[in-house]
Amino acid sequence: EAQVTQNPRYLITVTGKKLTVTCSQNMNHEYMSWYRQDPGLGLRQIYYSMNVEVTDKGDVPEGYKVSRKEKRNFPLILESPSPNQTSLYFCASSPAGSLDQPQHFGDGTRLSIL
Amino acid sequence: ILNVEQSPQSLHVQEGDSTNFTCSFPSSNFYALHWYRWETAKSPEALFVMTLNGDEKKKGRISATLNTKEGYSYLYIKGSQPEDSATYLCAFNNAGGTSYGKLTFGQGTILTVHP
């Protein structure tokens, strides 16, 4: 089944403890992206990757890192999480290296930083 | 950060009503406009991606139009059903400069269809 898989789905952790949210897609998609969703603010793009080894900042990259060493994986790293990073996170992918194709979203990861 | 506005923020309609909502975006350097449907406790699902001025797309009872010159897109739902209740998101991609891969979402329109 074609899908975007995020792990973990839920995580409660404490300020300053490094964490990684994994994202993997099995559709051979070029483009991958991370978003956070906060009440009243909609989806905001954190980082995106047009292809392997190519990553760029979205609108809210502060406090996050990403890497794209393989086409299928695009992990989101919080080196020193803070409470303002408590949010619902989505990973997405799309076929082309451009945005004239729809995004396929993962099921989301709910992070709580205490 | 580009400004993508959706209106109204929320909408309540009766089953069988037809409805529409708006997405406004910058009219310069347009590349693509996306529409997604997002049900509670699920992930967003793509409805349409539109790239050409004057584009009209249809999927069942849902259709969308695009005006890139004035910077707006309309989403129409004909004969709303309770299962259409969801948040409808639009997202804009700008072709200019270093923003090539950025996708900017509006805040969404929350649609509730009452039986």
B 38-77 residues with CB < 8 A to A: 42-46, 48-49, 51
- Long-range contacts of A58-67, Cβ-Cβ distance < 8 Å, separation of 24 or more: A58/A33, A58/A34, A58/B102, A58/B103, A59/B1, A59/B102, A59/B104, A60/A36, A64/A34, A66/A34
Q: Over 80: is that where the pLDDT of B16 sits?
A: yes
Q: How far apart are CA A113 and CA A97, in angstroms?
A: 33
Please answer whether residues B21 and B36 qualify as being in contact, where contact means their C-beta atoms are separated by less than 8 angstroms.
no
Q: How far apart are CA B89 and CA B81, in angstroms?
A: 18
- Mean model confidence pLDDT for chain A: 94
Q: Is A38 on the interface with B (CB under 8 A)?
A: no
Q: Over 90: is that where the pLDDT of A99 sits?
A: no
DSSP A84: G
- Predicted confidence band of residue B112 (pLDDT cuts 50, 70, 90): very high
Residue B73's nearest CA partner among B40, B28, B112, B25 is: B25
Q: Is A104 on the interface with B (CB under 8 A)?
A: yes
Average of per-residue pLDDT across B35-44: 94
Q: Over 70: is that where the pLDDT of A40 sits?
A: yes
Task: Output the pLDDT for position B3.
Answer: 86
Q: Over 90: is that where the pLDDT of A1 sits?
A: no
β-strand pairing of A87-94 with A31-38: antiparallel
Residue B51: Cβ within 10 Å count: 15
